[in-house]
Each structure stands twice: as C-alpha cells, then as structure tokens.
Amino acid sequence: MAGSDDEKHDHSHEHDESCDHDHDEEVDVVTLVDADGNEVDHYWLGLVEVDDDQFALLCPVDEMDEDSENTNVYVYHYSEDEDGAESFEAVEDDALLARVQAAAEAMFAADEEEA
C-alpha cells in the first residue's frame, strides 16, 4: 500500500445516488488529476476508518493486475462536504499509512471470511 504525493485532490467519482461503496458486481472509478494536469482513473477498492478519519483505497486502472498480488494501492484521506462534494488528499505520514494498511488488511480478511 502506498501514499501518493504526485496526485491532487481534484476528482470526479461516478456513481448513482444510492452508492455506498460496497459493490459486489459494480466497480466504481474515481478520476483524479495528477500534478501535471493529467486525468488518471482509479478503481475504488474500499473505504477504511482510522482515528475517526476515512481513507479511500484506490488503484490506478492502468496498474491493476488481477494475476498479481503486487498491485499498488494508494491511500487518500477521504471526506465529503455538506453538499456531498468529495475530496481526496494524499496521505504522507508513514505511521498513519501503516495504521490504514493494517485496518485495510483486516477489512479485506473479514470480507474473505464472509465470502
């Protein structure tokens, strides 16, 4: 799992109004704008809560390798304002990234046990 310091928080996240980010069949895609102004599509992998903050787990679409266990997952601090506009900010604190990674691994392990 990695933080990303080369991507800004500008984004669009396409989904319907009932989206709760817990999709079994449908895959959400978030578009972020990198430091060079390029739009980069990311798969929405999940949302993890750590220390009362929410963190989005995203994987660039062009880096997703279903046959590899080495797929990069990027962590962004996630929030919504009162109008529902989403914000993604890169996490640069290594200790916080480690806590988010542990929480994400526990979440994915619990999901696998339920399946």
Strands (E), 1-115: 2-3, 7-14, 29-34, 39-50, 53-60, 74-80, 86-90
Range of the domain at 84: 2-114
Total count of domains within the chain: 1
CB-facing half-sphere around the CA of 64: CA atoms within 13 A: 14
pLDDT at 1: 55
End-to-end CA distance of the chain: 23
Do 70 and 44 contact (CB within 8 A), yes or no? no
| Whole-structure pTM value | 0.71
Q: Please check the confidence at residue 8 and state whether its pLDDT lies above 90.
A: no
Do 43 and 29 contact (CB within 8 A), yes or no? yes
Mean pLDDT (whole number) for 68-89: 88
Per-residue confidence band for 71, with pLDDT thresholds at 50, 70 and 90 = confident
